[in-house]
Structure 1
Amino acid sequence: MDRNQATGLILFAAVLLIYSFYFSSPEPVTDEPTPAATEAVDEPTSSDLNSQAVELPDSARSVQARQKFGEFAEMTNGQEEIISLENELVKISFSTKGGEIKTVELKEFKTWSKQPLILMDEKSALIDYQISTSKGPISLNQLHFGSSKGTTTVEEVPAQQLTFTSQGASGKITRTYTLADGQYTLGHNLSTSGFQSITDQSISINWMDKLKKQEADIEESRRKTHLNYRTDEDGFDYLSASSDEDAESLASPVKWVAFKQRFFTAGIIAGDHFTSAELTQTIPKDTLSVKNMEAAIMLPLEGGKSSVTYYFGPNNFKILKHVTEDFEENVDMGYVFVSWVNKYIIVNLFHYLEKVFTNYGVIIILIVLIIKLALFPLTYKSYIGMAKMRVIKPEIDELKEKYPDDPSKQQQEQMKLFGQLGVSPISGCLPMVFQMPFLFAMFFFFPNSIELRQESFLWAHDLSTYDSIYTLPFTIPFYGNHVSLFTLLMTVSQIAYTRFNNQLTAAQGPMKNIGYIMPVTFMFVLNSYPAALSFYYFVSNMVTFGQQAIIKRFVDDKKIRAKIEENKKKNVNKKKSKFQSKLEEAMKAADSNKKKK
């Protein structure tokens, strides 16, 4: 024992002696000391001092608790215990101090490093319910609860139930959690009764979470991580991901708030609605967390009761669709003009093939074949349209030679020629336009498909991220420091297809070269995108190449020429259509204005 410890012990003993002298009741004086008096005279041992030191703070805390918590003071005493609810999908741990969620583990998933996937824990997240009282706001996390477990049913599904009860002198608080079998949702009912000091019939829920890193590529994870919400007035929305820090104050009723990561979501859903919410998200400077999110939500406490539902689980479109209204929007299916393809066609097709095949590379190939087969009539029409343009190319070249210095006149004569020959210049492009939603839909589907997470195919160890066959000793701007083989294959196949397509259409000038620029551009864009996306585009290019090669064998340019000549004879005296007349008038007016200028 050093000098400071000895001095402290002596002073502490002196305080105890003074305390006992002034506050203990007087003992009767006798000739012989009683056992109690003898013990008082004996020199106190170290264990005696320690036991008395524990009793004093408890006494002092009791007085302080009464001053700070009022009628809730008795509820601040107790010992913390950890209790869990779990089913085959999720394990959720609670603390009896607050009756609050502490950790959430998704049992069917692992992190990128093959560790148990802890969606949130007490080191990274905090959920705090506060009630307003005459003593000020009181956090339920400051109160101790007793617990009991039981079973029940939720919509005829067996469920576990955990009830926390904290009893005070004048009332009690009860928190009941329900976890059904085979569900990622956790029901929560809260009730208060008997307290006179509660001043506001609402509860403030403060949820803070430093979202844990679950994937290897943190930059891609941050791009796909948003604080999402749904209001009764405006529907689904989210905080912008364009800035390092963003916040939103919602005064209208809010149905749910979700901390959405790339593949997993933690959300809270109101039984009726939240009256308001303050939402904030920030991107940390380090890589210890993906994003830091906070939500301060006001929940009505009607008749002393309120209810919410938590969702802790994967971003699986079909699962989220059954949670609550618009909750499936946590899976980004793309813009309006392509989202319908993913929501109503690709998702259902993908899940159907999952039931039959276990290899996701095979599933991607089958999706390509099915889509290409369904769109084959459009592909055929596109080919025929391009073939017609190729056949009449000599006539078009003649017009260019006839009016070399008058582009407007060239266009007018070309339109007249198209009408005579019965050829539409957009007949080859329009079918391709109808196929574009399917092409762009995959740009959203594969990067957000949790089904592909940690699924391998050929040399790709994980189809949900890029397939790196070589790591560069330097970083190329807009490309990265790795080489994706699927992206290279996609690029080569696109260049080969472009060369073949130019031969079919007899393309010249800028249009001939632009087809080669696009594959190279996409090589840079897709190098860090999921391997599944590049593989899909590669297979799609190869199938399209094969389709056009087959069509070419069965389409005779001589027959097309004969058909065009037949149209030419029929349309010798044909009047111009209204559309053609208006188009020619517009072109003449534009040419006239150009000459005036």
Structure 2
Amino acid sequence: MDRNSAIGLTLIAVLLIGYFYWFSPQPQPVAPKVTTTQSSASQKKDSVETAAALPSDSILQATYGDLSVAMKGTETATVVETADLKITFSNKGGSIKELELKKFQSYDQKFKKKVIDPLKLVSPEFSEIKLLSQFQGKEIDLYTLFYQVDQKKDGDTTEVTFTASLSAGATISHIYRIPNNGYEIGYNISSKGLDSQLTGDNLSFQWNYAVQPLEKDLTDTRNNTTITYYTDEDGFSELTPRSTSIETEAFAGSVKWVAIKQKFFLASFISKNNFAGGEVQSSVTPTDSSVVKKASIKLSIPKKSLVDGTAAFKYYVGPNDYQVIGDVSERFKENVYLGWRPVYWINKFVIFPVFHFLTQHIGNYGIIIIILVILLKLVLFPLSYRSYLSMAKMKVLKPELDEIKARVGEDMTKVQQEQMKLYQQVGVNPISGCIPVVLQMPILFAMFYLFPASIELRQQPFLWAEDLSTYDSLIQLPFVIPFGVGSHISLFTLVMTISTLVYTWQNNQLSSVQGPMKSMSYIMPVIFFFFLNSFSAGLTFYYFVSNLVTFAQQAIIKRFVDESKIRTIMEENKKKNAAGGGKKSKFMTKLEEAMKASEEARKRGDDDKKKRK
């Protein structure tokens, strides 16, 4: 690798660091049978009984007319439990009051460890849902009415219906359909007669949500928490995840779905026939560690859809898992960010299918990462061989390249011309060693996006790391290191950095690079240590294992690369070129022409300076 190649790779590395800085990512139990519990006054452990603190019947009648009959009652809870969810409904509002993910566990932020408690994505403490309309000139929240509950089984699906019957014969119903498996909950709203008493063209669905800390790294969680949405006009979009100010987006046209996206979980509301506009907003208080972000969703539901049966929706409240969310709705799977194209294609069609296949047959994710490294290295072996062969050629030429530098002196233009002449004579392409490296970069990038976004790694331990989806913190510091390092040293990142420095030293023995460029090659791994110290332990472990396998590959390749034979071939090429029988490659011809043009431009510049003097 000559000076130009080293400069090129250094610039590429600087661009990568800049991009990453600004744009940075057990066997399941047998599914239990669906159980439902409808609580009553005699079942205190499953019920919530609350006296409605409302005005007298006469005042309610005068204020809300027929609607007043549904504004007083006793709150009770209905619990539906499936293989994946435990959902608590309330007859006050006919809505979801609490929802647990049975197969996932929360994370204790205070003691920085996984806890046994099931993970709750909906709870009255941090989630509030309203369905607002105008009734007789007054705003009314239909989720504050008291409803009669009815539930039944339809195959492996549980259907829960909440109906409010008014004195004039008008009704409004909320119907939920909960399958035995999965995280989708069907939801329909229907009305008979009540729509004529509600003013305005639309109902307003509002969801205020305070995102709770569910992961180890609060900063990383905030950087990956936002509101995503899909509109007919713009397709998939999101509010800026890393913003520390209030982010707002209003929709004048139709909206298909909106999701409150955390790093590994989603709470979303989806319409079968589109919403008639709305607004989303997110905000963050950096000093408040009890809340990741606050999210607010407002969506317009056409009033006429309640009557004609088109007010059909569904909730998806569950893991942000690429394998699970693909069929939820249009472009819903883009909530899992797998990188920019073509990195996205590599992840989608190559890396992720292999990774998912391995997860189906192997329970240890550290072993899965090792196998993934070996498989990719085998596929990329031809490129690695060509890269090593190119470095071996440069090593053979190193004495002559050093002699050129000593003979020509400090005139870098002349040095480059002489070096290019030597390359042409011996038949060596100076960038042939860089091309295989560049071709392998999309794989490196693919891993950079895959591991931080893979919920499969969440809370999966390996060696000293308790959670491969975040940094390992075996080494704790009594102080905070700046530049985003934090108060810990990730041991996986540390061993990755050491192995990269060893790899760099090994390559520099084959390289002709000297001076500042050689020093820079050692500085870059240290810079990446600062950058990757708070990244996924699975990612840095992958890079570490990749370095180890590369050492083994180079040791094998070295046994089959004869430097004396390379020298003989170069001498033969030099003789052919001297005799006029050599043939220039297109690349060498163009490079030579470019250097001549550059030299001529330099001479013209020097002549112009002399004339001006």
Q: Does TM-score exceed 0.5, indicating one fold?
A: yes
1:290 aligns with 2:296: no
Secondary structure class of the residue paired with 1:512: helix
Return 5+ residue gaps in structure 1 as ranges: 1-54
Instruction: From the superposition, tell whether residues 234 and 567 of structure 1 become closer, same or farther in structure 2 (CA, over 3 Å).
Output: farther
Counterpart secondary structure, 2:594: helix
Residue 103 (structure 1) aligns with: 98
Residue in structure 2 matched with residue 190 of structure 1 by the alignment = 189
TM-score normalised by L of structure 1? 0.86
Question: Counterparts of 1:234 and 1:421 in 2: how far apart (Å)?
Answer: 56
Q: Which residue of the partner structure matches residue 374 of structure 2? A: 369
- C-alpha distance in 2 between matches for 1:64 and 1:420: 101
Give the Cα separation in 2 of the matches to 1:207 and 1:594: 66
| Matches for 1:356-505 after TM superposition, within 5 Å | 356-478=361-483, 479-505=485-511
Partner Cα distance (2:563, 2:364) in 1: 42
Q: Which amino acid aligns with 2:86?
A: K
Aligned to 1:328: 333
Instruction: Name the structure 2 match of 1:3.
Output: none
- Name the SS for the 2:342 alignment partner: helix
Give secondary structure in 1 for the equivalent of 2:509: helix
User: Per-residue CA shift, 1:536-593, capped at 9, x if unaligned?
Assistant: 1111111111111111121011111222223334444346566544443433333344
Alpha carbons 2:137, 2:199 under 8 Å: kept: no
Residue 337 of structure 1, aligned match among 342, 345, 348: 342
Alignment match of 1:112 (pick from 107, 110, 124): 107
How many percent of aligned residue pairs carry the same amino acid?
46
Q: How far apart are 1:372 and its partner, in Å?
A: 0.7
* DSSP-derived class of the 1:467 partner: coil
- C-alpha contact (below 8 Å) 2:202/2:302 kept by paired residues: yes
For the aligned residue pairs, the C-alpha RMSD in angstroms reads: 2.1
Residue aligning to 2:271: 270
CA distance in 2, matches of 1:408, 1:483: 45
Q: Which of the residues 58, 64, 71 maps onto 1:69?
A: 64
Distance in 2 separating the partners of 1:275 and 1:206: 14
Q: Deviations over 1:457-508 (max 9, x none)?
A: 1111221222222221111212221222111111111111111111122432
Three-state SS of the structure 1 residue aligned to 2:107 is coil
Contact 2:504 2:522 in 1 (8 A): yes
Cα distance in 2, alignment partners of residues 362 and 577 from structure 1: 45
Kindly indicate whether the alpha-carbon contact (under 8 Å) linking 1:71 and 1:170 is maintained by their aligned counterparts in 2. no
Cα distance in structure 1, aligned partners of 2:454 and 2:370: 16
The residue identity in structure 2 corresponding to 1:469 is L
Partner secondary structure for residue 290 of structure 1: coil
SS at match of 1:212: coil
Matches of 1:68 and 1:243, distance apart in 2: 43
Q: For residues 245-302 of structure 1, what are the alpha-carbon distances to aligned partners after superposition, in whole Å with 9 as ceiling and x for unaligned?
A: 2111122322111111111111111112122121111113311111110011112344
CA apart distance, 1:392? 2.1
Paired residues of 1:465 and 1:530 also in contact (CA < 8 A): yes
**1:33-64 alpha-carbon deviations (Å, 9 max, x no partner):** xxxxxxxxxxxxxxxxxxxxxx9x98x63233
Equivalent position of 2:8 in the other structure = none
2:560 pairs, out of 522, 543, 554, with 554
Contact 1:86 1:179 (C-alpha < 8 Å) held by counterparts? no
Of 326, 348, 357, the match for 1:352? 357
- Aligned counterparts of 1:585 and 1:530: Cα–Cα separation in 2: 47
Conserved 8 A contact 1:120-1:211: no
Query: How far apart in 2 are the matches of 1:575 and 1:384?
Result: 21
The equivalent of 2:594 in structure 1 is: 586
Q: Which letter does structure 1 place at the counterpart of 2:476?
A: T
Give the deviation of 1:243 after TM superposition: 2.4
Q: Write the letter of the residue equivalent to 2:257.
A: W
* 1:337 to partner: Cα distance: 3.3
The correspondence for 2:158, drawn from 160, 184, 194, is 160
Residue 464 of structure 1 aligns to a residue whose secondary structure is coil
Distance (Å, rounded) in 2 between the aligned partners of 1:145 and 1:132: 19
2:401–2:512 CA contact under 8 A, matched in 1: no
**Inter-partner Cα distance in structure 1 for 2:468 and 2:157:** 35
| Secondary structure at 2:544 match in 1 | helix
Query: CA 1:332/1:297 → structure 2, altered by over 3 Å: closer, same or farther?
Result: same
1:18 corresponds in structure 2 to: none
Query: Is the contact made by 1:69 and 1:138 (CA closer than 8 Å) also made in structure 2?
Result: no
Once residues 77 and 262 of structure 2 are traced to their aligned partners in structure 1, the CA distance between those partners, rounded to angstroms, is 27
Equivalent in the alignment of 1:213:
213
Distance 1:217 1:411 in 2: 49
- Report if the CA contact (8 A) 1:130-1:139 is conserved: yes
Larger Rg: 1
2:498 counterpart SS class: helix
The answer to whether the Cα contact below 8 Å between 1:78 and 1:144 also exists between their aligned partners in 2 is yes
Aligned to 1:171: 170
Displacement, 1:514? 1.8
The answer to whether the 8 A contact 2:398-2:511 is kept is no
Q: TM-score, normalised by structure 2?
A: 0.83
Q: What does the per-residue CA deviation read over 1:147-190, in whole Å, with 9 as the maximum and x for residues that have no partner?
A: 1111225xxxx211101111112411011001112110001011
| Cα distance between partner residues in 2 of 1:575 and 1:555 | 25
Relative contact order, higher structure (CA 8 A, sep 6+): 2
* Residues in 2 aligned to 1:582 and 1:540: alpha-carbon distance in whole angstroms: 36
Corresponding residue for residue 261 of structure 2: 260
Deviations 1:371-401 (A, max 9, x none): 1111111100111111122222333334434
- 1:130-152 per-residue CA deviation (whole Å, 9 max, x = no partner) reads 23344233211221111111122
Instruction: State the AA in 1 paired with 2:548.
Output: M
Say whether residues 1:528 and 2:534 are aligned partners.
yes
Which 5+ residue runs of structure 2 have no aligned equivalent? 1-50, 109-114
